Chain A
Amino acid sequence: MKIFYKNNKNIDGGIVQLIDKEKMMDWSPEIPIVIIENYRKDHLSRFTNNKLRSEINKHLDELIKDVAIPLMAKGLETENSEERLTLLTRLEEITRKKTEMAKPIIPYLEKLLKDENEKIKKLAQKALNNFEKAKKKKQLEQMRKKMEQLEKDWLEEKVSNEEYASERKKLLKLQAEIGD
């Protein structure tokens, strides 16, 4: 475990122990990325000390760079196509369920679009589509909020029929694209 001191390298201020590179090396290749990003997003904010947060963030970056990415890349580059397919299937599931946390793997998936194995190509594309879909869902959410206000303004005749219709059309188009 890597030790961080909450206050001036002294245990009186408290300590934080975080998983180190060595331990993470034993994990399945698809797991480190999700766990690191999950920790960064949902757990790091508990610490109010900026310096401590920045030190931990730096360690998390190192974990991504030195463990998570190499582990996954190694798994995806193996010659055993069965193993690659299993890993990619898990990665596809992660991109669907934890899209935000899986972002660092995008470049590796893009590389696989040129793979000779059709199944791998297809799965990589499916995983990339999940990111695109998540991005559009986010857009849709923002657009819906915007439309709520626009509808009020339109009813109060603060907005023209053309402007309202144009925005409404954009919303319907986006909804259709992601099958919402």
Chain B
Amino acid sequence: MASKSKENYDLKATKDLLSQYLEIGQQKKEIKFPEDTIKIEDLPVKNTIIRINELVDKLVQVIYTTGRPSIKLPSRSGSNIIWDEENDLLLLGKQIVEKHFHSLTSVVDITRLMKVLEKIYELLKTNDYATKREIFYTAVKLFQDQKNSDKNIEDISTMLYTIRNSTHIIAAPRGACVGKLRIRDGTEIIDLERIGSGYWQVSTMLDEIDIIESDAEFILVIEKDAAMMRLNKHKFWEKYPSILITAQGVGNVAVRMFLKRLSKELNLPVFSLVDSDPYGHYIHSVYLRGSKRLSYESPFLATPNIKLLGVLTKDLDEYKIPQEARIPMNSNDIKRIKDMLNEKFVKKNKKWEADLNLALKLKIKAEIQAFTSHGFNFLADKYLPTKLTTGDWI
């Protein structure tokens, strides 16, 4: 199946979906979350500072009156993570945990928590940002391991009922974006079509970024940097007006938040292109409904209308991927597929369930790059346009 670059595809199915989304977008439906879930807000600096002040005032008051202060925060344990079927999101329930200052078992945890709170306050007051790693290095002896400071950062976000970005603790930059998009960063307009052979690195300070204009008709999220490079080199986004974005694996907070904003503001169809393996499906699921660890941020991070464009297990035969480009699954892969098949959101999606069952039956996986066996440009010239034209997605 050789690549024929002269073939023309009208992307009919994608355009039909775009029409539908633009119409829905005009109606601006407000999302209602279930009553048994907590409400998390994206706060401006001023309001986050107010929440910290209120929290500390209450603590001081309790210290003066009873001498036995404690902090209450929503539990982030598995039993408190709820799948909201209507909005297709993983959300945090209303279970509360209490951390006591006077208990020997929690004194270290509380001290760490207060240290992180102090650092967040400092960042907000000076309108500065820090990465999780930097927070760890503000008190190495106290935190001992970055896992501890990371956990405290998440505790504080939930304690303040806000997202991590509102605390000015940001992820290390990892994502890249290119295509038919113009954004504002401060007083500059960045044109993502005019950045040479490279990409725009998705900023972790997203509150300083705004979408100015786009003439894209869909967004393609790509798992692999190599596939992104190939499509960019080919100027795929120019031939098929689109925005390409990659996070080199599971999308970090900045990439997922940026994608969410693109999808919400532009009302464009969003597709994911991942490896045909359980990890690829997992990456898609994280973009789709959020991760369990950051379930409290799901409404700000998840893109519930993202479609799994490929690479599906059934595509391996349909696009005649040679046997030597297919890899046998190991026991971990099989376990992961079985775990995914047990997820409620997979069971609800029959096409997804069928493809995972097929993978389980065949016990094979393949990378996006497997298409190279038909030529370097097969992905851009044949596979993607065919799928986007016929609507062959999950």
Q: A residues bordering B, Cβ < 8 Å? A: 1, 3, 6, 11-12, 14-19, 23, 27, 30-31, 34-35, 38-39, 42-43, 94, 98
Contact = CB atoms under 8 A, between A and B. Distances in A.
Which label, helix, strand, loop or mixed, suits the secondary structure of the A interface? mixed
A39 B182 contact: yes
Given A3-B22, A27-B210, A35-B184, A14 B189 contact: no
B213 interface: yes
Nearest to A41: B189
A19 B212 CA distance: 5
A35 B187 contact: yes
Given A1-B265, A43-B189, 7 more contacts: A11-B18, A14-B215, A16-B215, A17-B213, A38-B187, A39-B182, A94-B187
A3 B215 CA distance: 9
B211 interface: yes
A11 B15 contact: yes
- Report, nearest first, the 5 A-B pairs whose CB atoms are least far apart: A16-B215, A18-B213, A34-B187, A19-B212, A17-B214
A1 B182 CA distance: 13
B200 to A, nearest CB: 15
A14 B217 contact: yes
Contacts of B214: 1, 16-17
Interface of B is mostly: mixed
7 contacts: A6-B215, A11-B19, A16-B213, A18-B212, A23-B210, A35-B212, A39-B213
Interface string B75-109: 00000000000000000000000000000000000
Given A11-B19, A39-B212, A17 B266 contact: yes
Q: Which of A6, A16, A17, A35 has the most CB of B within 10 A?
A: A17
Contacts of B184: 31, 35
A166 B15 CA distance: 66
Interface in B1-51: 10, 15, 18-19, 22
B150 interface: no
A180 B213 CA distance: 39
A43 B187 contact: no
Contacts of B267: 1
A38 B18 CA distance: 29
A18 B210 CA distance: 11
A98 B211 CA distance: 21
A42 B19 CA distance: 29
Contacts of A23: 210, 265
A19 B211 contact: yes
Nearest to A31: B187
Contacts of A14: 215, 217, 241
Contacts of B241: 14
A122 B182 CA distance: 36
A18 B181 CA distance: 10
A55 B182 CA distance: 18
Contacts of A98: 187
A6 B241 CA distance: 13
Nearest to A36: B212
Nearest to A16: B215
Contacts of A35: 184, 187, 189, 212
Interface string B169-189: 000000000000010101111
